[in-house]
Structure 1
Amino acid sequence: TELPPPGPWTVDPAHSSVAAVAQHLGISSVHGRFTHFSGAIEIAPDDVTKSRVEAVIRADSIDTGNGMRDGHLKSPDFLDVEKHPEITYRSTGVTAAAGSDRWTVHGELGMHGVVRPVDLDLAYLGTGADPWGGTRAAFRATAELHRDDFAMSYNQVVQAGIAAIGTTLKVELDIQAVQGESLPQG
């Protein structure tokens, strides 16, 4: 099983994305992303299963491409960014999954004042040099969240009993991390 070299890694927000997809009217998807976040990864030297991940997302940085919808998502019906300005994730363990580059990151997600266990399905995409003299590692992770688990049960039923907004969210993370505790300039 493979992970990047041991030590600290810093998530590079300029080359990473934190996105979510929700069903709309049962027939299409609405895509959103968070534009302000930070994260740190610690690859354990002797036992990679003891590696750690921490991330903080600014809840008010949600962007779905529609100002009215974004305003509603920031309201108490959903993220309630006034009371809960941060979404946090802290890993509690890492286990190998099928395939040498696949892992499950176990952790706790704090959102909307609720903390719940959430597993990330992680693919390690490789490590390489960057143009600024640093070393970068790339990861892709996905998870499925249930809005009700985080006290976000607002919905509107439209014709034929179809919910306007799906109850699950698919979270998609594309992460580049730079080796070390801070990002190089560039």
Structure 2
Amino acid sequence: MLKKSLLALAVSSIGIMSLPTLANTYEIDTKGAHASINFAVKHLGYSWLTGRFDTFSGQFTYDPAKPEASTVNVTIDTTSVNSNHAERDKHLRSPDFLNVEKFPKATFVSTKIVLDDDNDEFNIVGDLTLNGVTKSITIEVDKVGEGKDPWGGYRAGFEGETEINMKDFNIKMDLGPASQTVKLELHVEGIKK
């Protein structure tokens, strides 16, 4: 009887040890302003116009032992575009650019993660929906760090960048060939749920 109990305990322990680890879910910390979605585009090829989206939300899953199983889901309020110039922002919200009256939200949903040289560098491939158009984009990501915070929580942070072509997302305004590409720079800090 004792042998059977020990055998059952050993088998169940092996079964538990062989279960896959589950990725943790993180809420992007926009309330604490520890995340940002920034953009830059050349203005007529003479200088850089920079800005950001002030309002967005999302979450990601992440397991440092298996980063390729991670997922990302972000929703951006396109009406919150902010280039630090009220008249320009009004134009950016118009049908010439973001057409926010018709498409007040943009979304990004990951479809796969491709590891680079190590587990702290990878590419996130996913679907960006902007101005009513959905296209696959690739974001190059570096892990910044992770660990406990002073308030008893646990955080993980990443930075990423990508480029998109405005015409791919049916943005009509044409400021010349130097202004067709938008650089996106992302800083994301998540709080483990």
Normalising by the smaller structure, the TM-score range is: 0.7 to 0.9
The residue that corresponds to 1:71 in the other structure is 90
Q: Please state if 1:88 is matched with 2:107.
A: yes
Q: Could you say what secondary structure the match of 1:107 adopts?
A: strand
Q: Could you say what secondary structure the match of 2:191 adopts?
A: strand
- 1:24-43 mapped onto 2 (5 Å cutoff): 24-43=43-62
Q: Distance in 1 between matches of 2:41 and 2:124?
A: 22
- How far did 1:100 drift? 3.9
- 1:32-181 mapped onto 2 (5 Å cutoff): 32-43=51-62, 47-156=66-175, 163=176, 166-180=179-193
The amino acid of 1:101's aligned partner reads: D
Q: Deviations over 1:107-128 (max 9, x none)?
A: 0000000000011100011102
- How far did 1:98 drift? 2.7
Q: Distance in 2 between matches of 1:124 and 1:142?
A: 12
- How far did 1:42 drift? 1.3
- Hey, which bits of structure 1, 4+ residues long, moved more than 6 A? none
The amino acid of 2:70's aligned partner reads: S
Q: For structure 1, list consecutive stretches of 5 or more residues without a partner in the other structure.
A: 157-162, 181-186
Q: Please state if 1:10 is matched with 2:27.
A: yes
Q: Could you say what secondary structure the match of 1:70 adopts?
A: helix
Instruction: Give the TM-score normalised by structure 1.
Output: 0.86
- C-alpha contact (below 8 Å) 1:91/1:108 kept by paired residues: yes
- How far did 1:177 drift? 0.5
Instruction: Specify the structure having the higher radius of gyration (Cα).
Output: 2
The structure richer in helix per residue is 2
- C-alpha contact (below 8 Å) 2:51/2:84 kept by paired residues: yes
Work out the number of aligned pairs and report it: 170
Q: Distance in 1 between matches of 2:151 and 2:56?
A: 22
The amino acid of 2:27's aligned partner reads: T
Q: For structure 2, list consecutive stretches of 5 or more residues without a partner in the other structure.
A: 1-21
CA RMSD of aligned residues (A): 1.8
- Between 1 and 2, higher relative CO (CA 8 Å, sep ≥ 6) is seen in 1
- How far did 1:50 drift? 2.3
Instruction: Give the TM-score normalised by structure 2.
Output: 0.83
Identity %: 34
Q: Distance in 1 between matches of 2:169 and 2:163?
A: 13
- How far did 1:138 drift? 1.0
